[in-house]
A and B are shown apart, each in its own frame.
Chain A
């Protein structure tokens, strides 16, 4: 087959040649910058590089040190807590808001704008704003106390045990608007006839959402999930602006560990080892998901 077709027309390699040439720069960028940079980072994570990268291999030393460092363990724990709650609450709140807006309420535009507005702010601004809001002398606590409830205490940013939830609040405030808009777009894509059919069958509104609408919105949920997950892994600026890892090291996150050890501690090897671990954790989550999503049988 292939030999006979070879004689008549050029191989598939040269089909759409101009389009392929046009995509070469991006392919190169992806290979050199992303794949190459990643490989370089992983390679040097096995060296004892300090301020400048040097090729003296020390095996797994950097990783051993990393996993015996308290600050790294706290960072991982914080990321897990933040990630878990951020994922759940963003999806739940985002979807609920979208569903409420979808009930053809009056002033939808106004509400949509209000909910989406925080997303227009950078994480640094969000972090600072919430640092003030959660400050016991300026923010929520003092307002409630001035209303007469003297014993009210709400001071998450100065309590090592719950500081990560203070950051979570700010993160949710900033991020749910976007998810809501994506969900709303998904809801608007649902055919009006579905609703009519559900009504004819006498299915309640909530039940229709859960049993019919949400399964139909699967692609929208996948998009939202990817957006939220990438936001969780790279969380850095919010923490820097809001608590700078404090009190003590109670709100440290992995990305901050990487930056600190690469530049402040002038220990590239340790920073690379930490960033490699971040990559590994992403891959560990991504591969089963990609397998489920794209591998196996194609869904109808």
Chain B
């Protein structure tokens, strides 16, 4: 009730404050150091086209920002453009006709041939029309290892998960937290997803997440994943931070041995002046299964009934995907560009690894594209509980399977 009243109030207040011609308010949740530096590249390029980028950064992770963004669109106070993870999050907004159709621009610029992997554009496509611009490829499947931490215990930096698990007790003895983990559901859920791919393999994952096969979720492959997750939970027992970048910082400063986190962690290492391969190592797929998911960020353009604004929206859409901007943005962000035809020789060790995997076709669709926000929230809730309690692997697996069984 309270929220509805708030929505009404904000809708009434704000409809009057439409943006000026060529001025676009862009909302996003890129607020950590590396992210902010990357988004500034977008703003610079967009301002150079004669329009004005009005920054609407929303602090907190996507979980905080997304409801604000969606309630503004639903409440009749749409921003000029907004970041969302593509996939099923915006499906109903598109269905309700609240998002601008970008198909014409996409055809004129030939996005279909540019965007690689093509699944990114598919995720933006709804009933044959294109509604968003993919801007980067983010993959979750990375573990970041601190060279300092392993030097302290005189152990070579592990090259896969089982080596890491073997070294973990030694790290603990030396007073180092083996695994840094922010105590937030999405991080725990993400880490679990990474372990799934690495340990259960792609086929089992596909059966569970794409086909929603609850029996597969009860199977032995997943049992192994939950066992490993129990180990990881013990490794992370002394990690008392909340935000992901604070957890990354533990790895940067050598207070923690490793962190399972997506490639956006890269931006933080870069900001801290660390060099891949010397100060830290990244292992795609935990060093076991070198497969990356191709989730990522995309920009959506809510429908605004104003020709000037519409023109500015199209200009922004075209800017976001242009080759120069793609390179500048992704180098700062630590993510991979969405087009295969750009020169990324400036990319570092970790990004090169990622690019090579993309070229070799080691890709899978991301969870965002297959599970609804509802199912993901349920899984996040389960993970939040699992990671902070002493829930047994069997119990967790059973409840996970129940959620999959009821998923749409």
The chain A residues found within 8 Å of chain B, CB to CB, are: 33-34, 37-38, 41, 50-52, 65, 69-71, 158, 160, 234, 244-250, 259-267, 270, 275
Contacts and interface: CB of A to CB of B under 8 A. Distances in A.
A65 B242 CA distance: 29
A214 B61 CA distance: 50
Contacts of A69: 378, 381
Contacts of A262: 3
B66 interface: yes
8 smallest CB-CB distances across A and B, nearest first, come from A248-B388, A263-B67, A265-B377, A51-B92, A247-B388, A267-B374, A266-B373, A248-B384
B70 A51 contact: yes
A246 B374 contact: no
B67 A264 contact: yes
A82 to B, nearest CB: 19
A267 B67 CA distance: 12
Nearest to B381: A71
Contacts of A158: 240
26 contacts: A41-B1, A51-B93, A65-B406, A70-B385, A70-B399, A71-B381, A71-B385, A234-B2, A244-B184, A246-B184, A250-B385, A250-B388, A250-B389, A259-B67, A260-B377, A262-B3, A263-B66, A263-B70, A264-B63, A264-B373, A265-B373, A265-B376, A265-B378, A266-B92, A266-B373, A270-B374
Given A51-B70, A263-B70, A246 B183 contact: yes
A218 to B, nearest CB: 31
Contacts of A234: 2
Given A249-B384, A264-B377, A160 B1 contact: no
B333 to A, nearest CB: 24
Contacts of B388: 160, 246-250
A234 B381 CA distance: 21
A158 to B, nearest CB: 7
A247 B183 contact: yes
A249 B373 CA distance: 18
Contacts, number: 86
Contacts of B74: 52
A259 B3 contact: yes
Interface string B90-131: 011101100000000000000000000000000000000000
A224 B295 CA distance: 52
A127 B117 CA distance: 45
Given A65-B406, A248-B384, A264-B67, A160 B374 contact: no
Contacts of B373: 264-267
A265 B374 contact: yes
Contacts of A38: 1
Nearest to B386: A248
Interface of B: 1-5, 63, 66-67, 70-71, 74, 89, 91-93, 95-96, 183-184, 240, 242, 372-374, 376-378, 381-382, 384-389, 399, 406
A275 B92 contact: no
A246 to B, nearest CB: 6
A299 to B, nearest CB: 34
A51 B4 CA distance: 14
A248 B384 CA distance: 4
Contacts of B93: 51
Contacts of A249: 381, 384-385, 388
Nearest to B384: A248
A33 B406 contact: no
A59 to B, nearest CB: 15
A50 B385 contact: no
A256 to B, nearest CB: 11
A28 to B, nearest CB: 15
B70 A248 contact: no
B374 A266 contact: yes
Nearest to B5: A33
A260 B96 CA distance: 22
B377 A160 contact: no
Nearest to A70: B385
Given A52-B74, A245-B384, A246-B184, 9 more contacts: A37-B4, A41-B1, A51-B70, A70-B399, A248-B384, A249-B388, A259-B67, A266-B70, A270-B374
A258 to B, nearest CB: 9
B386 to A, nearest CB: 8
